[in-house]
Copies of this chain bind each other. A is one copy, B any other.
Amino acid sequence: MLKVLDFKGNFDDIAVKFSSRKADISKQVNDSVNDILEDVKKNGDKALMKYCRKFDGFMIDNPKDFVVTKQEILDGVSEVGKDFMRILERTKQQITEFHKNQVDKSWSMYKGNGVMMGQLVRGLEKVALYVPGGTATYPSTVLMNAVPAKLAGVKNLIIITPVKADGKVNPTILAAAYVCGIDTIYKVGGAQAIAGVAMGTNTLPKVDKIVGPGNIYVATAKKNCYGMVDIDMVAGPSEILIVADEKANPKYIAADLMSQAEHDKLASAILVTTSSSLVEKVNQELIRQLSYLSRTDIIKESIENYGGAIIVESLKEAFEVSNYLAPEHLEVLVENPMNTLPLIQNAGSIFLGEYTPEPLGDYMSGTNHVLPTGGTAKFYSALGVYDFVKYSSYSYYPKAVLETFQDDVIKFAKLEGLDAHANSVAVRFEEE
C-alpha cells in the first residue's frame, strides 16, 4: 500500500508530483468559458437562462425564478430535521468562536508633531458564494465561507448554485444558508453564474468577490474574471501529510490518511516518520480499515499514485520535508506536539496530537477547511475574516510638517521626472 519513497533520491520528484496534480485548463474549456462570459455581458439574464436550460436542464423562462423563495428555504429546514439543524448551529458556533479572533480593527497613529495616520478596515459590500450542485453537496463549506464573511461585515452575501430539471436546491444547502443568514440564493451555476455576478445582470447583483469551489468551468470563469472582481484561491485536489514518531498509533494514521484519500483520485496522503516499523503497521491498518469503508476505489487509486511514506532521521528533518511540500493539512502525531509549532513554516492547517483528527477540522473544531493545496501554503493562507475585508490608509499632515518635507519631496519627484508632483507641494508654499 504505502510505498516507501526514497527521500534522498527523489525528493524533488515527490514535490513536483505533489504540486502538479491540478487539471490543466484546456484551450477548449477556456474558449467556451470566454464565449459564455461574452454572451452574459451582452445578453444578461437571457444568456443565463439559455445556459441553465442547455447545461442543467433547468427550463427557466422568467429570471424571477432564479431566486429561491423564503418558503423553499423553510421547506429545506424542515426536510433536514431538527437534529441536523442543531448540528449546523453547533458547527456555526464553533467556527465563530475561532474566527472572531481574526476580526481586525481600524487603527490610528498620532505623531507628536500633529501628523495623524491610520488604516481603515472595511468589510466588502457584496460577496457571492458558489455552491456546487450534484450529489457531492457540502453544507459544511457554506458555513466555512459564510461565517468569516459575516464576521468581516459583508453587507450582502449571496449564494449561486445550479439546479437540475426539478429546480430544487439540496435541502442541506438551504438549511446551512438559513443558519448563516445568507441574503439571497440564486438557482444558477456554471460559468454563466460566475459571469452574472462578476458583471451583474438585471437579476444578479455585481459583486466585489466570488468565493467557493466549483468544476473546471467554474474555476476557469473565476480565473478569467479575476481583476474585474476578486476571487479566492485557485483550489486543487486535497492532501494530508502526517508527521509521526515511533509512538504514534498506526490505526489513527491509516484512518486519517484515508480520510483525505477518499476525496479524489488526485488526493495525496503522505506519512513522514522516523520509524520504518510504523510504516508496516500503518499498511496493515490500511488493509483492515479498507475492508469496511465505501469509497475504496478512490482511496486505493490516490494512495497508489500520490501516497507514500518518507522515512527521516529526526523530527527536524521531518518538518523540513513538510515545509518543502507545504501540505494543505498537516497532522503532528508525536510526543509534545505543541513544541513543534516553531518548526512549521508552510502548512494550511495544523492538527496537533492524537485526538485532533483532520476531519474534526473539516466540520467542527472551528478552524477553516478552505485551505491552500498543492504546495501553495507557501504563499496562501487558510480562508479567514481577512479575505472579506480591505484596508485603506489615511493621512493628515499639518502645514508646518509638510513644510519640513517640502524640499525632499520636490527633489525626489524631479529625480523621477514628475514635475507636476513637485508642483503640488510647491504651490502650497508660493507667495500669494
Contact = CB atoms under 8 A, between A and B. Distances in A.
Contact of A381 (B295, B351, B365, B391): B391
Given A87-B408, A262-B418, A355 B393 contact: no
Contacts of A213: none
Contact of A357 (B101, B256, B428): B428
A120 interface: yes
A180 B65 CA distance: 58
Given A172-B415, A419-B294, A344 B259 contact: no
Contacts of A347: 392
A399 B252 CA distance: 13
A309 interface: no
Interface string A391-410: 11111111101100100110
A41 interface: no
A424 B98 contact: no
A23 interface: no
Contacts of A209: 379
A388 to B, nearest CB: 9
Interface string A200-242: 0000000011000000000000010011011000100000000
Contacts of A362: 413, 421
A74 interface: no
Nearest to A116: B338
Interface in A245-260: 251-252, 255-256, 258-259
A43 to B, nearest CB: 18
A366 B344 CA distance: 33
Given A380-B230, A394-B352, A416 B138 contact: yes
A384 interface: yes
Nearest to A102: B119
A255 B420 contact: yes
A257 to B, nearest CB: 9
A354 interface: yes
A399 B354 CA distance: 8
Interface centre among A116, A119, A209, A423 (most CB of B within 10 A): A423
A255 B381 contact: no
A172 B411 CA distance: 13
Nearest to A423: B255
Interface in A342-389: 344-368, 372, 376-382, 384, 386
B395 A350 contact: yes
Contacts of A351: 394-395
B256 A424 contact: yes
A199 to B, nearest CB: 11
A392 B341 CA distance: 11
Given A87-B408, A139-B416, A140-B416, A396 B229 contact: no
A374 to B, nearest CB: 9
Given A223-B227, A363-B408, A364-B409, 13 more contacts: A22-B227, A87-B408, A87-B411, A140-B416, A209-B379, A227-B234, A251-B427, A252-B428, A255-B427, A295-B419, A349-B392, A350-B394, A359-B409
24 contacts: A22-B227, A97-B111, A101-B119, A117-B366, A120-B341, A136-B416, A209-B379, A223-B226, A226-B226, A226-B234, A256-B424, A259-B421, A293-B420, A295-B418, A344-B392, A349-B393, A349-B395, A350-B395, A356-B402, A357-B424, A359-B421, A360-B425, A362-B413, A382-B392
